[in-house]
Amino acid sequence: MALEGRIRAGKMQMMEQVVPRQDDQTELNDYEMSFYQDVELLQSHGINVADIKKLLAVGICTVKGIMMTTRKRLCDVKGLSEAKVDKIKEVACKLSNNGFITALEVTERRKLCYRISTGSRELDKLLGGGIESQAITEVFGEFRTGKTQLSHTLCVMSQIPNETSNFKGGKVIYIDTENTFRPDRLRQINERFKMDEEAMLDNILYARAYTSDHQMELLDFVAAKFHEELGVFKLLIVDSIMALFRVDYSGRGELAERQQKLAQMLSRLQKIAEEYNVAVFVTNQMTADPGAGMTFQADPKKPVGGHILAHASTTRIMLKKGRGETRIAKIYDSPDLPENEATFAIATIGVSDARDLGSSFFFLGDYTNLPYRSSREQVSNYTLAVLCFASRSETNNADCRHSPSLIS
């Protein structure tokens, strides 16, 4: 009983700590109205519980999710007739506001977007602050250009608050198609921030995909998980997006079918990113371009996936090898970022700035409590790191730049 009392008191204290200010509460309500209209709202408009459960079973958990799903796909759900689908669509249309809105309203909605730091200031600057939510960010390059290393670094960085980009930190889902996920690598990167190791690893949900069909099925689980823990998950990583498609569909005879399946998966990723306001980060491979020699192209290689993947990705980044551990990132395509390049490095501490390769890193601060130790637990305050850049030859005369910040 004493233990239960302490737990109850701890919960009450936590609730008191995380009570938002009035303006924050208004923003949260607007956020929930925009993104998190539960599919169970249909019940009050004549849709029975059994049909709602059928929608939940296929990963359609919000009213917005219904509007994003075609009538054809809804009719394919076992137990839903065309008449039921028409009724569901009609009710969802009444509950949601999917008509025309002004550009000013779009601007207000875009304020809910956040950016996750990559670990490199130069790369963040290239990306306008980091990996953007409500968007698909694709990185492609040859082997050993840093795609998987960037993915691992983002797993850690996504758990660290960043007040400059309206980001409070959260959990990650990692879909691995090449068996390259390494928790030990995350521990190495975590040495940079001194977070609680078990909590950091516990905030990363991992799945190994074995076929392209399995990869697609996992997205239904992802949507259900995002709905189950609303606002907790901030990043979805797929490493890599095309690996299994290249194995399951070989030759020109199966190319059309492969591209159709790929288009369906990318459409699902786009809808998940927008529906739950999460950042989607995918890696991609490269292949030889037989026609490059005829057009005198400088680089005879191109990213896999063709026009389908090129059009689906919001921002495309090309990675190239530099000298030693340095890598070069170039904006290949983006709706709002100029074509530019940035140099970063891959070190034991993960992705960082190239100029910091010869420096010692000392991150001081309290990161023992992460934003989401459990699905609903929140920590009210964060003490951000104090970062000291000290030349190895001048360790005793470290030039420390203090950047403490308090976030509630």
Residues 46-71: what's their mean pLDDT? Answer: 88
Q: How many of the other CB atoms lie within 10 Å of CB of 44?
A: 9
Helix (H/G/I), strand (E/B), else coil: 90 = helix
Could you report the per-residue pLDDT of 322-373, keeping only the tens digit for each? Answer: 988 899 999 999 999 999 999 999 999 999 998 876 554 434 334 444 545 5
Q: Are 234 and 116 in contact (CB under 8 A)?
A: yes
Residue 56: exposure state from Cβ atoms within 10 A (0-12, 13-18, ≥19): middle
Greatest extent of the chain over all pairs of C-alpha atoms, in Å: 79
- What pLDDT is attached to residue 356? 73
pLDDT at 132 over 80: yes
- What pLDDT is attached to residue 288? 81
Q: Higher confidence at residue 385 or residue 142?
A: 142
pLDDT at 248 over 70: yes
Helix (H/G/I), strand (E/B), else coil: 44 = helix
Where residue 43 falls among pLDDT bands split at 50, 70, 90?
A: confident
Where residue 100 falls among pLDDT bands split at 50, 70, 90?
A: confident
Q: Are 237 and 215 in contact (CB under 8 A)?
A: no
pLDDT at 15 over 80: no
Q: What does the alpha-carbon distance between residue 300 and residue 289 come to, in Å, rounded to a whole number?
A: 5
Q: What does the alpha-carbon distance between residue 330 and residue 325 come to, in Å, rounded to a whole number?
A: 17
Write the CA distances from 72 to 112, 181, 268, 324, integer angstroms. Answer: 32, 36, 15, 52
pLDDT at 163 over 60: yes
The residue assigned the tokens 């919960």 is: 11
Q: Which domains does the chain have, with CATH numbers?
A: 2-95 (1.10.150.20), 113-354 (3.40.50.300), 362-407 (no CATH)
Q: Mean pLDDT check: name the lowest of 148-152, 229-233, 361-365.
A: 361-365
Could you report the per-residue pLDDT of 172-220, keeping only the tens digit for each? Answer: 999 999 999 999 999 999 999 889 999 999 999 999 999 999 999 999 8
pLDDT at 257 over 80: yes
- What pLDDT is attached to residue 33? 46
- What pLDDT is attached to residue 25? 41
pLDDT at 256 over 50: yes
Where residue 290 falls among pLDDT bands split at 50, 70, 90?
A: low
Pair type for strands 382-383 and 131-132: unpaired
Q: Copy the structure tokens of residue 218.
A: 């996992």
Q: What does the alpha-carbon distance between residue 58 and residue 260 come to, in Å, rounded to a whole number?
A: 20
Average pLDDT of the residues of the chain: 80
Q: Are 265 and 258 in contact (CB under 8 A)?
A: no
The residue assigned the tokens 């949507």 is: 223
Could you say which DSSP state residue 321 is in?
E
Q: What does the alpha-carbon distance between residue 288 and residue 308 come to, in Å, rounded to a whole number?
A: 18
The residue assigned the tokens 């303006």 is: 23
